Amino acid sequence: MFCYLSVPNTEQCKRKVHLTLYKRPDSVNISSESSVWSEGQMMKLKCEIENVGPLQNLTVQWTRVDQNNITTVTEMPYGSFSTSGEERKNGNVTSTLTVSASRDEDDVQYQCAALLRLDQLQQPQVGSSEPLNITVRYKPIITQPSKGIPNSVIKGNKLVLNCSAHGNPSPQYSWSSPGNKNLTTSSIIISSVQSEDQGQYSCTAYNDEGSDSMNVTVNVLEHPHTTNLSSESSMWSEGQMMKLKCEIKNTGPVQNLTVQWTRVDQNKNRTVTEMPYRRFSISEKQKGSMDVTSTLTVLASHDEDGVQYQCAALLKLEQLQQPQVGSSEPLNITVRYKPIITQPSKGIPNSVIKGNKLVLNCSAHGNPSPQYSWSSPGNKNLTTSSIIISSVQSEDQGQYSCTAYNDEGSDSMNVTVNVLEHPHTTKLSSESSVWSEGQMMKLKCEIKNTGPVQNLTVQWTRVDQNKNRTVTEMPYRRFSISEKQKGSMDVTSTLTVSASRDEDGVQYQCAALLKLEQLQQPQVGSSEPLNITVRYKPTITQPSSGTISLTQGDQLVLNCSAHGNPSPQYSWNSPGNKNLTISSIFISSVQSEDQGQYICTAYNDEGSDSLTVVVNVAVEYKLIIIIIAVCAVVGVVLIIGFWYYRHTQNKWRNLASHRNNDNIALSDDIAGQS
């Protein structure tokens, strides 16, 4: 076959093409040699595929699906099956699968398919047969009861034996039981089993292919008639090895028996010990009901006194979720033992403040209940469990011995009593009543008649002027003491303080603290407070050094203040070498001559401190201008007034002159007329 390509204005080209034609099968059929198989046979399945090709691309696929829908696929490529035709052409195919007929093949489904795998196709071309269901006949196999497991049941209980088997055809059942009783059922039910029902039961399952049998041994167990617990003696003595005996009547089979021992102490703590088969004495036979004796050996100690024991027979059977139990009555144990003192504690001294109440209690565990005696300093003997001294004194100090006793023995305990005296005096003093700044001063705390000093701590308390409180503790070995370290004695503790102005007005106090284990709060003896006075030179706090700028006529106020002890005195040095012994300078209207350096000096017996303030005075030109202006205005007014005055005077003079002239003329006229 050729392929042609024509393009305008070019020569036609051709190419030879190889064409393969694929043919799906006309039919795919699966068949078996027989419709029913028998277990053990080798059976053949045949897959016939008609008119398919090309044969060389063919694969026959066998699919097996079991009862659980688990799929198994087997593929047979070209060459593993018979064909009719050439490999590149179509033809008929026959593929054979050989299967061993077993019970696992019963109800399995087979199917075959023709797969054409082509390079150009992602998925093969498939032609499948109809499914073929397989039936396999096989003899029964019993699945219940389990092989070799005995069945044990308590006498009077219900017995149920079920027999079940797999087989094809479905099996039938028969039972043979003790006394040659034969039953054609799959189950045996005995509502109340008795001793005569004990023995071997045999189940047979059968069909046309064969049969299977299973034997079951049934043990009829009897609940223990009695379980008794006893002791060698009703009363034990400490140190003996005592035996407890547990007698179990009429029980078995003993190979399934465990004896359980339970111990419950006075605090209800429970301890369980189990003794399996072979750890107790039994009869010769080991399968029937019989008597059993189990022995528990116990060391008689005071811990066993008041303990309760109990034993139980446990029949542990696989068929029973809970073991069968037969228990004895509880047995209470009494152990006689010598006293053991529990109070007071060994080796712990008892310290008490003189004048306080002293109580010494002695208690002990013992059986019989113990009696008590005390020996005290001065060979005083008391037959009581407690010693009470309402007001203890120095002569009560020493060793006290308590003895607890009964018929089994005795125990003793010694107690050392230390009588402590509250410090008679605690005095605080200083090297000097007045300190000077910079000195290293020592405060001395003298504590009279106290102890034991190994329990003593000296506590120093400092309270400043702001009521801030600081506490310093000095333990034993940081102060001077007498030679002995256990009796009452004098103690001196020293605190070194740097005398600074911060210490002025501070209050110190010391205290003796006796810290005893028997006392929740320490015994305290405190000194009177000591007020500290520190002398120090002044330090000026006001005014601040620097420059003050004023205008002529302003007010000038300079206050000088300082801290110092003793209280400081003051002097001022001002411009013009004016010296003032006051703390403040006041100038109501400052002038230019007040300008310059002002030096304040604060001084006391400890020293002095100085501070310089520069005052600048500026002239007020505005005032001068106003004065000049006012003067100018006043001058102008005066000039104008003077001019007006002169002008008025001249006017009056002229007027007077005219009048005089008129009068003269009139007189002349009159005279003429006359």
| Residue 34, helix vs strand vs coil | coil
Q: Give the phi and the psi of residue 600 in degrees, each rounded to 5.
A: -100, 135
Is 637 inside a domain boundary? no
Judged against a pLDDT cut of 60, whether residue 229 lies above it is answered with yes
- Mean local confidence (pLDDT), 502-507: 92
Give the pLDDT score at 218. Answer: 86
Give the pLDDT score at 448. Answer: 83
Structure token digits, residue 193 = 């089993």
The percent of residues in the chain predicted with pLDDT above 70, rounded, is: 88
Judged against a pLDDT cut of 70, whether residue 664 lies above it is answered with no
Tell me which residue of 316, 292, 145 sits closest to 218, measured CA to CA.
145
* Predicted confidence band of residue 507 (pLDDT cuts 50, 70, 90): very high
Q: Are residues 548 and 522 in the same domain?
A: no
Judged against a pLDDT cut of 90, whether residue 206 lies above it is answered with yes
- Mean local confidence (pLDDT), 389-415: 90
Q: Are residues 509 and 463 in the same domain?
A: yes
Judged against a pLDDT cut of 60, whether residue 667 lies above it is answered with no
Give the pLDDT score at 157. Answer: 84
Judged against a pLDDT cut of 70, whether residue 317 lies above it is answered with no
Q: Are residues 430 and 352 in the same domain?
A: no
| Residue 36, helix vs strand vs coil | coil
Is 9 inside a domain boundary? no
- pLDDT tens digit sequence for 238-250: 999 999 999 888 7
| Residue 373, helix vs strand vs coil | strand
d(CA 319, CA 632): 143
Q: Are residues 31 and 130 in the same domain?
A: yes
Is 8 inside a domain boundary? no
Judged against a pLDDT cut of 60, whether residue 221 lies above it is answered with yes
Is 513 inside a domain boundary? yes
Give the pLDDT score at 542. Answer: 87
DSSP per residue, 291-347: EEEEEEEEE--GGGTT-EEEEEEEE--TT-SS-EEEEPPPEE--EEEEEEEEESPTT
Tell me which residue of 211, 213, 210 sits closest to 202, measured CA to CA.
213
Judged against a pLDDT cut of 70, whether residue 474 lies above it is answered with yes
- Mean local confidence (pLDDT), 163-177: 92
Judged against a pLDDT cut of 60, whether residue 666 lies above it is answered with no
Is 652 inside a domain boundary? no
Q: Are residues 522 and 545 in the same domain?
A: no
- Mean local confidence (pLDDT), 101-122: 84
Give the pLDDT score at 292. Answer: 86
Whether a cis peptide bond, with omega within 30° of 0, leads into 145 is yes
Among 221, 241, 256, where does a domain finish?
Answer: 221
Q: Measured in whole angstroms, how far is the alpha carbon of residue 505 from the centre of its chain?
A: 51
Give the pLDDT score at 424. Answer: 67
Q: Are residues 415 and 432 in the same domain?
A: no
Is 647 inside a domain boundary? no
Give the pLDDT score at 485. Answer: 46
d(CA 448, CA 426): 6
Is 56 inside a domain boundary? yes
By residue range, what is the domain housing residue 600? 539-621
d(CA 410, CA 387): 19
Judged against a pLDDT cut of 70, whether residue 63 lies above it is answered with yes
Tell me which residue of 495, 390, 396 sits closest to 441, measured CA to CA.
495
Structure token digits, residue 296 = 């528990």
d(CA 274, CA 7): 106
Structure token digits, residue 559 = 């206050």
d(CA 389, CA 378): 14
Q: Are residues 361 and 317 in the same domain?
A: no
* Predicted confidence band of residue 672 (pLDDT cuts 50, 70, 90): low
Q: Are residues 290 and 322 in the same domain?
A: yes
The residue type of 215 is N
Around 507, how many Cα atoms within 13 Å sit in the side-chain half-sphere?
A: 9
In this predicted structure, which of 323-332, 342-351, 605-614 has the lowest mean pLDDT? 342-351
Q: Are residues 265 and 297 in the same domain?
A: yes
Beta bridge partners of 526: 511
* Predicted confidence band of residue 296 (pLDDT cuts 50, 70, 90): very high
Q: Which DSSP helix (H) or strand (E) runs through 663? A: helix 621-673
Is 524 inside a domain boundary? yes
Q: Are residues 146 and 103 in the same domain?
A: no
- Mean local confidence (pLDDT), 120-149: 81
Q: Are residues 175 and 262 in the same domain?
A: no
Among 285, 313, 333, where does a domain finish?
Answer: 333
d(CA 184, CA 273): 48
User: Which sign, positive or negative, has the C-alpha torsion 252, 254, 256, 257?
Assistant: positive
* Predicted confidence band of residue 608 (pLDDT cuts 50, 70, 90): very high
d(CA 531, CA 550): 47
In our burial notation (b when 16+ CB lie closer than 10 A, e otherwise), range 314-351 reads bbebeeeeeebebebeebebebbbbbebeebeeeeebb
Give the pLDDT score at 286. Answer: 47
Tally of domains within the chain? 6
The percent of residues in the chain predicted with pLDDT above 90, rounded, is: 35
- pLDDT tens digit sequence for 515-570: 766 565 666 778 889 999 999 999 999 888 788 999 888 999 999 999 999 999 99
Give the pLDDT score at 289. Answer: 65
Higher-confidence residue of 254 and 347: namely 254
Judged against a pLDDT cut of 50, whether residue 674 lies above it is answered with no
Give the pLDDT score at 659. Answer: 66
In this predicted structure, which of 218-222, 267-271, 368-372, 616-620 has the lowest mean pLDDT? 218-222
Among 134, 161, 176, where does a domain finish?
Answer: 134
Tell me which residue of 30, 29, 42 sits closest to 136, measured CA to CA.
42
Higher-confidence residue of 674 and 68: namely 68
- Mean local confidence (pLDDT), 6-14: 79
Q: What is the CATH number of the domain that holds 45?
A: 2.60.40.10
Q: Which DSSP helix (H) or strand (E) runs through 652? A: helix 621-673
Asked if 105 and 134 touch (Cβ cutoff 8 Å), the reply is yes
Q: Are residues 521 and 606 in the same domain?
A: no
Give the pLDDT score at 282. Answer: 73
Structure token digits, residue 207 = 């069909």
* Interacting residues of 291 by C-beta distance below 8 A, sequence separation 6+: 247, 248, 249, 250, 251, 282, 283
The residue type of 62 is W
